[in-house]
Chains A and B, each alone.
Chain A
Amino acid sequence: MSLDNKTLTMQKSSVKDKNIKKLCENGYILVILLLLYLPIILIIIFSFFNTSAFSFRKGFSFDSYASIFDPNNSAKLTESIKNTIVIAVISAVIATLLGTIAAIGIFSMKKRTRRIVENANQLPIINSEIVVAVSLMLFFVTLRIPEGYMRLIIGHISFCAPYVVLSVMPRLMQMDSNIYEAALDLGANPFRAMCRVIIPIILPGILSGFVMAFTISLDDFIITQLNKGSTTGIDTLSTYIYSTQHTAGGLKPYWFAVFSIIIVVMIGVLLLINLRKYRKNIPNKDA
């Protein structure tokens, strides 16, 4: 009897443990979701109330969306968006090229030198962004590189390339060590072996490196702000937002509309990618 009781209490306590575990898990998710998404949801909500003072006084309207197309706002806005995208595309493409070549080079190094170069590559990533920004500024001034797009693109390449290296390296590591030799053995010269075998195999790594470089460049504020130069008047989206908020005392209502559009577009892109992945996985499982 006493033994039965004991097992019963043990079972009970284990059930209790399970409940606590579940509560912790759920609670954790809830907190994360709240912290991550509540601010985003707030932006979307405020975008429908045409406000810059976070109040609901003016009532529900699409006025803030309409004010995007007000020529006073839209000219500078479209230019800054154009700048952002041009800089991001150019620097991401060059960073991807550089990063891929660097990764292949690092991969074929001897172990010790490889470790040194890999760590050197990670320095810009772990380094504080403001330090990178200031050091770039000093670099540009010392070398007398003209203010403007040139500085911004060089700057963006320099902090995007390490991310490309980081996303291409694992692909190379996973690759069978004899693959390159097999290509040479079958009659491919080193250039052909690179184009027909190595690049196709590490392509997923290169693409994800490109996407990473592109988004990091899009997002960047500190480095752009410090290196755009005061006289050129070049603004990316982030520096433009900062400057308007700075001068006009608080964000104008149309910004909430712009942010909401960005959020919705991003969610759309994410869904699209995941849906495609999901569809791709199903036939693979069948085969």
Chain B
Amino acid sequence: MMEDRIIELKNVCKSYDEKPVVKNVSLSIKKGEFVTFLGPSGCGKTTTLRMIAGFEKPSSGEVYINGKDMTKAPPYTRPVNTVFQNYALFPHLNVFNNIAFGLKLKTVNDGTYFTSKNGVKYENMRKLTKDEIATKVRDALKMVDLEEYEKRNVSSLSGGQKQRVAIARSLVNEPDVLLLDEPLGALDLKMRKDMQIELMHMHKRLGITFLYVTHDQEEALTMSDTIVIMKDGVIQQIGAPQKVYDEPANAFVADFIGESNILSGIMLADYTVSFCERVFECVDKGFKTNEPIDVIIRPEDIKILPRDDNNAILTARVSSCVFKGDHFQSAVLIDSSIEGEEYEILVHDNTECKSGDIVGLYIKPFDLHIMHKARLINEIEGEMWDVNVVEICGGKFPCLCDLPSGERVNVKIDFDDVIIHDNEDNGTIGGVVGSVIYKGNYYQCVIRTDSYFDFFVDTEDEWLKGDRVGISVDPKNIIISVKKEDFNE
């Protein structure tokens, strides 16, 4: 079992200036696999790759390559090569010499051995000959279809050609693992599609392990054997593309990979779930009775039926229908008991509808994916600043609590009690909008404060990811309890 694990990360953490970027990542990669690290920018995927390449040292944890602990090994001793996003070709060398760069530094066994006094046998090493180098370089050029370009200056090449040279330059060294850091990011769409297919062919032909970093979910689904989805430095899910798509581990994965409807619901009992104020049959069990959960439904798993069809489990009103080439994308609205509110669901189906049509919907119980909620309430430690003022995340929130100043307290705030302000100065504290997920009739935003606490906020407005906003809370909605002192201290 151990032999075919070419790369193994054990509890790897990395922080810059105390800001954690990669948190406790553990995974193993089998020989010959095509593995993709997928996630939004800043999720730690590139940092993880750079730790495998040796450009960064983990703050803690170990990196094993071929079963050897390589955590502190410098890049030039590792059997891996990297293809960079911006190619990083050497501008002072022509195409041939760029590719030959690694070969010229390489030493191989010359067939003879040397036995030291202690009886240890060493290989006698020699450099590659000029002819050997030339043959290897030409083979590599042939592989990337650039035979004619040997003498060309790298600055005269197009983006796609540069990337081919960069790939050839890495592969010519016959690494055990090829690391690719968003290698197609700088190419246009058509070129990118072509290169995707070429890279897949290369991977099949060479049998080398490929480790690919991208933020493009389609790219990841097309190319990989295994996808590793990361968010905020934490692995969310590892699995085959099909599995990750069909059975996302949580709402983030579901939202990031493909389109999906994410709705809040309650697990009434095993095999019974309630959402959109209706009760449905499902295939999940093992949740607590009445546990709040997220239900994820892929738009293509919903079938549109005539309104009076016996199979329909829901009736809905079509609000829009757009032709998307191979299917129709309809937005449908489901009634709610709350005045003026409706649940919106996206459907991909072959049936064309008109806006205003009343239709029936059918979803197989198997296609209702039920997930634990990441968090039910914002819970954070704070300190009483004064009577009726509590300090959390560096901000002083007015509250209704007569505890004296200096008291350590637990603060709880409901998702929908947090108020977001467009202007940062109008809030008690500021933060950055981290993620925004539509949940049928409201948006769930995550606002990250400057002290790296994530406030979950349910709001009717859509907020722009990456924007700075202000946060405030009505004093009566802040729930404060005295923190139980640890007796050890």
Question: What 1/0 flags go to A212-239 for Cβ under 8 Å of B?
Answer: 0000000000000000000000000000
A192-B76 Cα distance, complex, nearest whole Å: 11
Contacts of A184 in B (CB 8 A): 54-55, 74-76
Query: How many whole Å from B177's CB to the nearest CB in chain A?
Result: 12
Smallest CB gap from B17: residue in A: A110
In the bound complex, do residue A185 and residue B53 qualify as a contact, i.e. CB atoms below 8 Å apart? yes
Known A176-B86, A178-B88; judge A189-B156 contact (CB<8 A): no
Query: B100-108, B257-265, B423-431, B455-463: which lies at the A interface?
Result: B100-108
Contacts of A186 in B (CB 8 A): 76, 81, 101-102, 105, 169-170, 173
Known A192-B105, A287-B156; judge A185-B81 contact (CB<8 A): yes
In the bound complex, do residue A187 and residue B88 qualify as a contact, i.e. CB atoms below 8 Å apart? no
Residue A181 at the B interface, CB < 8 A?
Answer: yes
A181-B87 Cα distance, complex, nearest whole Å: 11
A176-B91 Cα distance, complex, nearest whole Å: 9
A200-B101 Cα distance, complex, nearest whole Å: 14
Residue A172 at the B interface, CB < 8 A?
Answer: no
Residue B92 at the A interface, CB < 8 A?
Answer: yes
In the bound complex, do residue A187 and residue B102 qualify as a contact, i.e. CB atoms below 8 Å apart? yes
Residue A102 at the B interface, CB < 8 A?
Answer: no
Query: How many whole Å from A145's CB to the nearest CB in chain B?
Result: 40
Residue B256 at the A interface, CB < 8 A?
Answer: no
Residue B275 at the A interface, CB < 8 A?
Answer: no
Query: Which of A181, A190, A196 is in CB contact (< 8 Å) with B88?
Result: A181
In the bound complex, do residue A176 and residue B81 qualify as a contact, i.e. CB atoms below 8 Å apart? no
Smallest CB gap from A202: residue in B: B92
Contacts of B89 in A (CB 8 A): 176, 182
Residue B84 at the A interface, CB < 8 A?
Answer: yes
Contacts of A287 in B (CB 8 A): 153, 156
Smallest CB gap from B153: residue in A: A287
Query: How many whole Å from B92's CB to the nearest CB in chain A?
Result: 4
Known A186-B102, A187-B105; judge A181-B90 contact (CB<8 A): no
Contacts of B87 in A (CB 8 A): 176
Q: Apart from A182-B82, A185-B170, what 17 extra A-B contacts exist at CB < 8 Å?
A: A176-B88, A178-B88, A179-B88, A181-B53, A181-B84, A185-B55, A186-B102, A186-B105, A186-B170, A187-B106, A188-B76, A188-B101, A192-B105, A196-B101, A201-B90, A203-B92, A287-B156
Question: Which residues of A line the B interface, CB within 8 A?
Answer: 176-179, 181-190, 192, 196-197, 200-201, 203, 287
Cβ-closest 4 pairs across A and B? A186-B102, A178-B88, A182-B88, A184-B75
* A–B pairs, 16, beta carbons within 8 Å: A176-B87, A177-B86, A184-B54, A184-B76, A185-B54, A185-B76, A185-B80, A186-B102, A186-B169, A186-B170, A187-B102, A190-B74, A197-B90, A201-B92, A287-B153, A287-B156
